[in-house]
Amino acid sequence: MPKILLIILIPAMAAGYMGAEKGPAAEEEIKRLLDIQVRAWNRGDIAEFMAYYWESPDLTFQSGGRRLYGWQSLMDRYRTSYGGEKMGRLTFEDLEINILSDQHAYALGRYRLNYPREEKTGVFTIILRRFPQGWRIIHDHSSS
């Protein structure tokens, strides 16, 4: 085999191998992030729930035919719409996490909010980006 071919193939194979190792680790990190969010929500801790959203005016959230821009706007929405007893008990189901690169991923899932007399359900798509402090949600699209 010509040496030039080996020079090209060996780094390419190593990159593919290393990329495969990063996928499952990134997927587990994102699952942990979502578990932390669920526990925070169920404790009534909106601040900790929001800690895993990108704290930027460029964060986007879509739901109910509306688009919202900015971390603070989303925090205000959650506090107004869900503060106190209005939070219910949250669960995420049918999670599918897709790692796009070392820096980007998206997750699909179903949410359930259980209240004493009703249940709200819907689906969500979140787009995540890895920052120095870890994965953060940069876009959330939720619908019921």
Query: What percent of the chain stands above pLDDT 90?
Result: 77
Q: How many domains, in total, are found in the chain?
A: 1
Count CB atoms within 10 A of the CB of residue 92: 17
pLDDT(36) > 80 = yes
Residue 85 CA, chain-centre distance (Å), reads 24
Residue 24, pLDDT score: 86
Q: Is the pTM of this model over 0.75?
A: yes
**Which CATH number does the domain housing residue 8 bear?**
3.10.450.50
Three-state helix/strand/coil letters over 71-137: HHHHHHHHHHHHCHHHHCEEEEEEEEEEECCCCEEEEEEEEEEECCCCEEEEEEEEEEEEECCEEEE
pLDDT(14) > 50 = no
Domain that residue 116 falls in: 3-143
User: Which residues, in sequence order, are bridge partners of residue 93?
Assistant: 110
Looking at every residue in the chain, the average pLDDT score rounds to 87
pLDDT band of residue 22 (cuts 50, 70, 90) is: low
pLDDT(126) > 70 = yes
Count CB atoms within 10 A of the CB of residue 8: 11
pLDDT(19) > 50 = no
